[in-house]
Structure 1
């Protein structure tokens, strides 16, 4: 029996990988200095929740086949130090995923935005069509118990992140997967704390493109000018396969695909999702699925968690939640909801939660991203800014950055909740966008306004 120890087992992907290894029959242990829900309950149910929070070098012994190191751990982590002293192999999770899948066909979905949605569509279609596959995805998806599966399947679908690999490896995660097929959805500056220079950020994607092997394939969104430029100028050896948005029409708040097989109704919407959908279709076709199979399965796809997720709706209103936080994601999501329901008023709330979004120097990248909502609101958590050692921006600074004079700012989640509860939502959609949770703001009362 293989025996692995996780340093920082509580992370979203890390705990899912740990659970996947338990399913595979491996012996798994782990440590972390903090574990939140749902990781805590899921690890406990599997019998691998650490008895105490903290780092315990005594857990590191020569009987381990390897250490899987999470990004949350520091270089001087006492368990990591002990593992190095004993000469135990240390893997980042992307290195470990590659190690487990090097004999499979590896499909990597990359880009500044759309990765989770595209990966989710592919997983849904493959499962619906009875294809055997492994996967790694960055969100919980309906119909899948875990965010990771590792088996004897001949193919693996991987959501490839450009963020750092581990405390020991400052390269993007997606370099480690050594793709056979890569999809590149878009390039828009993100992770300002790691890539303070935009050209350095773009260079990571240039390198990924160039890694496409002879006999491999690059599927790229030519609607994104940077992706088009980098992909078409690359001297990579494999096949280049461009895509744009799938042709579609909006009818009475519903989107239908226009295809050679007639009109196909779908449950997702927005120009960016039509791009995501066609990119996913290209991947499925590269894996030998037919157009008919894709169109049969896409009709039942509801979307990934927190990606244009419909929380509550009735005849004249809807409440949506989305993970959008980077400028490109924010603009695409707000535009999509407004375009889908042009006759309805749109109130959009954006929580600035990440290092990039809270950084005054990065703020000009948000210009025009909140133009489409009828009412635009920003929520800033003073504690989040303080934790990242950043100055808390004021309303005037934000208005100048977003270039919207009527922008409203809240720095207290209870005050924001009270404001939203007082609103009349007749013929109105409310869109909540954040990679956080508005400082644990309770949404139950707000949901009731849409029932």
Structure 2
């Protein structure tokens, strides 16, 4: 088939493009901006567009499928041309569903932690030689791409995002998948640009629960009050709450205790032990025993940009994390501080998403970085302009986070200076962003430390 991607540079989009090319399809794409690592990966697979920008002249009736990314706008010239020609236009979740509609589908949702839970399940299944297709929102050790679609795998594991499917399909992505098994990690208001109230946001998870196939299974974090309320009325599925696996710290390493057995694991932080409990429930439903699941966790290296270690010395570590929503920031900062209470913690957060750059949403971040000894927040005024958002001030950000105004910076150079001034003597550095700090060469700076 001839398949064209509008906005091929997206995280899921470029991985789906690579997977489809590997399956033998003729794949093309376009975008008006492509950042790393998408650029390098598309180049390596011969899929990087020959020029930047939209090219409506390449849209013609020889194309079998067009897949539309969220980065494009409704007035995108390629999209308008495709609609004029009445070509089939899919969002990527719609396309994934169509390719996996005859498989058993497992979907992991939640405002935070869903990538890690999905990664744990995928790692456990691979470790125990279970064949499956998948879509996950980060690069994982042991997997070449973030998407796999095959003809033979009977099972599909999807990370379920609550954000909109495409510019012309305003349903949350996870409502496309119609899972047989589902997990929800928790619900904390996000994406204020499309869900302007907490109730509107929470409703999407109620709809997700209702989308589980009749007679299906759903497991959810039992300490989440919103989920508790939603699950009270979930009568058409088998429902099971989860909490946390029992654990302790032994000789500087985490140990999980289960059924009188001890399993050494590399992850840390209370949120990760909650994630592990939920992932274990799903794997049990898929026929993987608790012992086989926990044995696999000994070699689980986590997902890219989820407490990823960029550099390490005997007295200090640099962590890189995707955290951007308030609940994610708070859990990540707390996890690092609790794991290394004797070390000073310096945390730097970039505000990059629509919600985080919205003055009405900023108060949700109050004290989210309180566990850090030094907390800094960066935002780029040019990003606000690009996203067509009203300007915000350093003062607004400082008040929202409850940090000194001098700890709010607005230039890439200032972020570089903060990193260069970091000591890794009995001290950790935690860098958090869903963006790229305005193109900052982060690894190069860290290597200099």
Flag whether TM exceeds 0.5 (same fold): yes
Structure 2 counterpart of 1:169: 169
* Superposition pairs of residues 38-77 of structure 1, within 5 angstroms: 38-77=37-76
CA contact 2:120–2:297 (8 Å) conserved in 1: yes
Structure 2 counterpart of 1:204: 204
Structure 1: state its 5+ residue gaps.
Answer: none
Q: Hey, what's the Cα distance between the residues in 2 that align with 1:385 and 1:51?
A: 28
Structure 2 counterpart of 1:358: 357
- What's the CA shift for 1:196? 1.0
Seen in structure 2, the aligned counterparts of structure 1 residues 379 and 244 have a Cα distance that, compared at 3 Å, is same
Q: Hey, what's the Cα distance between the residues in 1 that align with 2:356 and 2:57?
A: 40
- What's the CA shift for 1:292? 1.6
Structure 2 counterpart of 1:278: 277
CA contact 1:20–1:149 (8 Å) conserved in 2: yes
Structure 1 counterpart of 2:370: 371
Q: Deviations over 1:235-293 (max 9, x none)?
A: 33110011011111123442111111422111111011111111111111111111121
Q: Does 1:111 align with 2:110?
A: yes
- What's the CA shift for 1:371? 1.1
- What's the CA shift for 1:412? 1.9
Moved more, 3-12 or 335-344: 3-12
Residue aligned with 1:398, SS: helix
- What's the CA shift for 1:448? 4.1
Root-mean-square deviation over aligned CA pairs: 1.8
Q: Hey, what's the Cα distance between the residues in 1 that align with 2:68 and 2:182?
A: 25
* Superposition pairs of residues 229-240 of structure 1, within 5 angstroms: 229-231=229-231, 233-240=232-239
Q: Hey, what's the Cα distance between the residues in 1 that align with 2:447 and 2:17?
A: 37
Q: Does 1:143 align with 2:120?
A: no
Residue aligned with 1:235, SS: coil
Q: Hey, what's the Cα distance between the residues in 2 that align with 1:137 and 1:291?
A: 23
Q: Hey, what's the Cα distance between the residues in 2 that align with 1:321 and 1:85?
A: 44
Q: Hey, what's the Cα distance between the residues in 2 that align with 1:10 and 1:287?
A: 33
- What's the CA shift for 1:297? 0.7
Q: Hey, what's the Cα distance between the residues in 2 that align with 1:161 and 1:94?
A: 9
Residue aligned with 1:439, SS: helix
Q: Hey, what's the Cα distance between the residues in 2 that align with 1:79 and 1:440?
A: 28
Structure 2: state its 5+ residue gaps.
Answer: none
- What's the CA shift for 1:444? 4.7
Q: Hey, what's the Cα distance between the residues in 1 that align with 2:98 and 2:443?
A: 44
Residue aligned with 2:438, SS: coil
Structure 1 counterpart of 2:312: 313
CA contact 1:376–1:407 (8 Å) conserved in 2: no
CA contact 1:136–1:157 (8 Å) conserved in 2: yes
CA contact 2:326–2:365 (8 Å) conserved in 1: yes
Q: Deviations over 1:100-130 (max 9, x none)?
A: 0000000011010011111111111111111
Q: Hey, what's the Cα distance between the residues in 1 that align with 2:256 and 2:436?
A: 33
Residue aligned with 1:248, SS: strand
Moved more, 426-435 or 397-406: 397-406
Residues paired across the two proteins, number: 448
Q: Hey, what's the Cα distance between the residues in 1 that align with 2:156 and 2:194?
A: 28
* Superposition pairs of residues 75-86 of structure 1, within 5 angstroms: 75-86=74-85
Q: Hey, what's the Cα distance between the residues in 2 that align with 1:90 and 1:321?
A: 36
Seen in structure 2, the aligned counterparts of structure 1 residues 449 and 373 have a Cα distance that, compared at 3 Å, is farther
Q: Deviations over 1:355-398 (max 9, x none)?
A: 21112211111112111111111112221223234455444433
Q: Hey, what's the Cα distance between the residues in 2 that align with 1:4 and 1:354?
A: 29
Seen in structure 2, the aligned counterparts of structure 1 residues 227 and 449 have a Cα distance that, compared at 3 Å, is farther
Structure 1 counterpart of 2:267: 268
Q: Hey, what's the Cα distance between the residues in 1 that align with 2:400 and 2:58?
A: 49
Q: Hey, what's the Cα distance between the residues in 2 that align with 1:369 and 1:195?
A: 21
- What's the CA shift for 1:407? 6.9
Residue aligned with 1:72, SS: coil
* Superposition pairs of residues 312-391 of structure 1, within 5 angstroms: 312-391=311-390
Residue aligned with 1:141, SS: coil
- What's the CA shift for 1:219? 1.0
Structure 2 counterpart of 1:157: 157
- What's the CA shift for 1:70? 1.2
- What's the CA shift for 1:57? 3.2
Q: Hey, what's the Cα distance between the residues in 2 that align with 1:371 and 1:229?
A: 29
Q: Hey, what's the Cα distance between the residues in 2 that align with 1:449 and 1:366?
A: 31
